[in-house]
Amino acid sequence: MNTTTISDTASHHDEHDAPTGIARWLASTNHKDIGTLYLWFSLFMFFFAGALAMLVRAELFQPGLQLFQPEVFNQLTTMHGLIMIFGAIMPALVGFANWQIPLMIGAPDMAFPRLNNWSFWLLPAAGILLIATFFVPGGAISGGWTMYPPLYIQGGMAYDISILAIHILGISSIMGAINIITTILNMRAPGMTLMKMPLFVWTWLITAFLLVAVMPVLAAAITMLLTDRHFGTHFFNAAGGGDPVMFQHIFWFFGHPEVYIMILPAFGIISTTIPAFARKPLFGYASMVYAVASIAFLSFIVWAHHMFTTGMPVGGQLFFMYTTMLIAIPTGVKVFNWVATLWRGSITFETPMLFSIAFVCLFTIGGFSGLVLALVPVDIQLQDTYYVVAHFHYVLFSGSAMAIMAGVYYWLPKWSGRMYNETLGKLHFWLTAIAFNITFFPMHFLGLAGMPRRIPDYALQFADFNMISSIGGFMLGVSQLLFLYNVVQCIRRGTPAADKPWEGADTLEWTLSSPPPYHSFVTPPHIK
Amino acid sequence: MPSPSAPWTKNRRMAVMLLGVTALFFGFGFALVPLYDVFCELTGLNGRTSAATNVITTQTAGDTHRVVAVEFTSTVMPGLTWAITPQTARLEVHPGELHHVSYRVRNLSDKPVVAQAVPSVSPGLAAASFEKLECFCFSQQALDPGETRELPLAFTVKPGIDKDVQTITLAYAFFKLDDAKASPAAEIP
Ligand SMILES: [Cu+2]
């Protein structure tokens, strides 16, 4: 195999059609370049939306209104959620897909390189539109990331701009998903059967199908919002015979699969790192594949668990409660398989492994609080409280975001050809893990005590836990600067990485040089 | 760099197929609207009451063994300057009996205003058993400046109503209609 050692500077290969400078990035059709662009974009958005969260925590540091008026506060929470989901987590995972899928299945590139370029360059356009809404009259959208009418029918200019931006993001996701499915199904190296694919590829294949199925439904829902706003339709307008609750049904038909779109590839990353650092093959590979598939299927029949308080009949509540609880079974299979992979492994605790183990522990906490919320009588108490906020940050931050960090540390040596600073990485991990729990664990108590979410001010009995939570939040925010520093330092002056810096890694990308040549697997490898 | 031969057409075919799936689900998003409406109308879920009933169910006597309380309330939606008061706040009825109540509305503004009342019945479970024989919500209401009017409502609670339902709340939301929309045909359930 190709094992050229690249001496210095970036992954520059002075080969035929590798353009240089800005043109390389603007017109790039290379999956590695596009993967890099996705990851940088998502890192930027992660810091932007993170800064919004810092402002939220600053306002909630004490009871009373200190920094922001309620309208502005609501803009901060809404945009934090929207940008983290569509601007940070999803693009980061697509970035991983771009870098890793062709390398892991032995393909020379993605199936549609030019489409890939478009998919990416739609993102900055949408990102700029979203950020710009802070400066239009009336400010950014403030009705929550779930976009419920009637607020989203009544709001100002920012609402139209945001709907446009979400349309653009949706088109980008769908094009990316089509590209990923085609790549995986048509371009695997000879001998790589479906059941020999690395689990990361499997999770992305299923995620891409989810994207193709539900992003268009979101597009339909926000198109109806738009026509209700401007073209006199009454889909969700009760005055005209429409129904606001119907929006919730359509939105959550998208919304629940969306949470799996954000977590399944994270499962894929963790299923790659844990075997590598436990130096054992993944326990129960086939059951992992079936678990992911059944989670994806179940995600389509649980949506109304977000709507238990909208006046659903008991029969409906029971149906959605049971289907929701059913999801715990395939998820449990995954958690047990990860633990079984660790069992009697020769484990070492490098930074990616630390993040992976924290993922398994903390994601499980988030899964359990999800089960608690699935119970109808409990949910009626906890709907729209901080308990829900705690729950989804355990699955989205210590789930998706920490899996992404694990993945970045794991593959950075391959992508950049250089090692990151292990000491700094471990420091980043411990600060993140501790600060995360200081921030979000008290929110469980706040929610159980009845503190509602999306409010800038609160009753005095919530003051202590909020202050703890804010202190943790600031720690968490600052710690992420270490991540940025470590990544930049690694790319600029890290020590050169070996082709396979992780002893237990066994997927195809480690057979290439670090960094891999600009065009890899031009002649497909043979998988035995 | 796809080789311009066989794999390229194979990929293209798959992309077109997936694009078709995308279009299908986009359509499905819209189709959810009528599907959901039909579903709610059939089951009476979500507080939907059935539209005007032309056939008056000639129930001679009510089911005197059972008493159900009916409460009347209303909301004025933003933009409408009307005062609205149910003339009866609460009524205890036997299922099967026909009852008449009314709402008094007054236009507080100095302009003629057209509005529409949208009903909702809770608990949703009872919606299918609540029958409006005559209702001001079947049509738009136009009031001159300062005008007061009594709006009539005739209803019956069907004998088959779920045995767990003790109280039914009938809530009207009054919406102002724009001049453009205050046109002859506004079919509202
Ligand atoms: Cu859900």
pLDDT tens digits along A23-82 = 778 888 889 999 999 999 999 999 999 999 999 999 999 999 999 999 999 999 999 999
Query: What gap in Å lies between CA A316 and CA A331, rounded to an integer?
Result: 23
Q: Is the pLDDT reported for residue B128 higher than 90?
A: no
Q: Which structural domain range is residue B15 located in?
A: 1-43
| Calculated CA dihedral for residues A9, A13, A18, A23, nearest 10 degrees | 0
Residues B1 and B51 in one domain: no
CA of A176 to the centre of ligand 1 (A): 24
Asked if the Cβ–Cβ distance from A316 to B45 is below 8 Å, we say yes
Q: Which of B46, B129, B168, B188 to mutate to test the interface with A (most CBs of A within 10 A)?
A: B46
Contact A212 B15 (CB under 8 A): no
Cis geometry, peptide bond prior to residue A150 (ω within 30 degrees of 0): yes
Q: Is the pLDDT of residue A369 over 70?
A: yes
Residue A56, CA distances (Å) to A399, A402, A484, B52 in order: 21, 21, 22, 50
Same domain, B67 and B4: no
State yes or no: is A510 an active-site residue.
Answer: no
Ligand 1 mean position, distance from CA B176 (Å): 36
pLDDT given for residue B138 in this prediction: 84
Tell me, yes or no, whether B72 and B96 share the same domain. yes
Residue B65's domain is classified under what CATH number? 2.60.370.10
Which helix (H) or strand (E) is B180 found in, with range? none
Do B20 and B51 belong together in one domain? no
Q: Which residues in chain B are closer than 8 Å to A178, comparing Cβ atoms?
A: 15, 18-19, 22
Q: Tell whether B26 is covered by a domain.
A: yes
Residue B184 lies in a domain: no
- Global pTM reads 0.86
B118: pLDDT confidence band, cut at 50, 70 and 90?
confident
Q: Say whether both B19 and B79 belong to one domain.
A: no
The verdict on residue B183 lying in a domain is no
- What would the mean pLDDT of A258-274 be, rounded to a whole number? 95
Q: Write down the pLDDT at residue A321.
A: 94
| Residue-level pLDDT at B5 | 53
Residues B20, B82 share a domain: no
Measure the CA–CA gap between B127 and B113, rounded to whole angstroms.
Answer: 30
Mean pLDDT of chain A: 91
What confidence score (pLDDT) does residue B187 get? 42
A452-472 per-position pLDDT tens digit: 999 999 999 999 999 999 999
Q: So what's the pLDDT on residue B52? A: 46
What one-letter code names the amino acid at A26?
L
Tell me, yes or no, whether B120 lies in a domain: yes
SS3 state of residue B67: coil
What is the average pLDDT score of chain B?
Answer: 79
Name the DSSP letter for residue A385. Answer: B
| pLDDT per residue as tens digits for the range A420-456 | 999 999 999 999 999 999 999 999 999 999 999 999 9
C-alpha to C-alpha distance for A151 and A168, rounded to whole angstroms: 22
**Looking at A55-59, A166-170, A183-187, B30-34, which range is the least confident one?**
B30-34
Hey, CA dihedral for A183, A398, A306, A245, is it positive or negative?
A: negative
With tokens 């038909």, the residue in question is A253
Which range is least confidently modeled, A130-144, A160-174, A482-496, B107-121?
B107-121
Q: Is-catalytic flag, A369?
A: no
pLDDT band at A11 (very low <50, low <70, confident <90, very high): very low
Confidence of residue A253 (pLDDT cuts 50, 70, 90): very high
**Residues of B whose CB is below 8 A from A253:** 29, 32
User: Which among B26, B33, B180 has the least Cβ separation from residue A235?
Assistant: B33
Q: Are residues B83 and B167 in the same domain?
A: yes
User: How many residues does this entry show for chain B?
Assistant: 189
Evaluate whether residue B188 is within a structural domain: no
Check whether residue B20 and residue B1 sit in a common domain.
Answer: yes
Closest residue, chain B, to A211 (C-alpha): B22
Q: Tell me the percentage of chain A whose pLDDT exceeds 70.
A: 96
- B80 and B172 assigned to the same domain: yes
Min CA distance, A23 vs chain B (Å)?
A: 18
For residues B99-116, one letter each, b for 16 or more C-beta atoms within 10 angstroms of the residue's C-beta and e for the rest, the string is: bebbbebebeeeeebbbb
pLDDT tens readout for residues A328-366 = 999 999 999 999 999 999 999 999 999 999 999 999 999
Q: Are residues B4 and B88 in the same domain?
A: no
pLDDT band at A413 (very low <50, low <70, confident <90, very high): very high
For A237, nearest residue in chain B (alpha carbons): B175
CB contact at 8 A, A483 and A428: yes
Is it the case that residue B50 has pLDDT exceeding 70?
no
Does the structure show a pLDDT above 60 at A214?
A: yes
Q: Are A501 and A352 in contact (CB under 8 A)?
A: no
A150 touches B at CB < 8 Å: no
Is B24 in the same domain as B79?
no
Residue B181 lies inside a defined structural domain of this protein: no
Instruction: Please report the pLDDT score of residue B10 as a whole number.
Output: 85
Residue B186 pLDDT class (50, 70, 90 cuts): very low
Which pLDDT does position A127 carry in this prediction? 95
The verdict on a CB contact (< 8 Å) between B15 and A240 is no
Question: What domain count does chain B have?
Answer: 2
Work out the pLDDT band at B9, boundaries 50, 70, 90: confident
| Residue-level pLDDT at A10 | 41
Domain presence at residue B101: yes
| Class of residue A343 by CB neighbours under 10 A (exposed 0-12, middle 13-18, buried 19+) | exposed
Q: What pLDDT is attached to residue A207?
A: 96
Of residues B11, B27, B122, nearest to A112 (C-beta) = B11
> Is there a domain that residue B189 lies in?
no
> B43, B58, B74 — which closes off a domain?
B43
Phi, psi of B85 (to 5 degrees): -130, 125
Higher pLDDT, B60 or A346: A346
Do B104 and B150 lie in one domain? The reply is yes
Q: Interface pTM (ipTM) of the complex?
A: 0.84
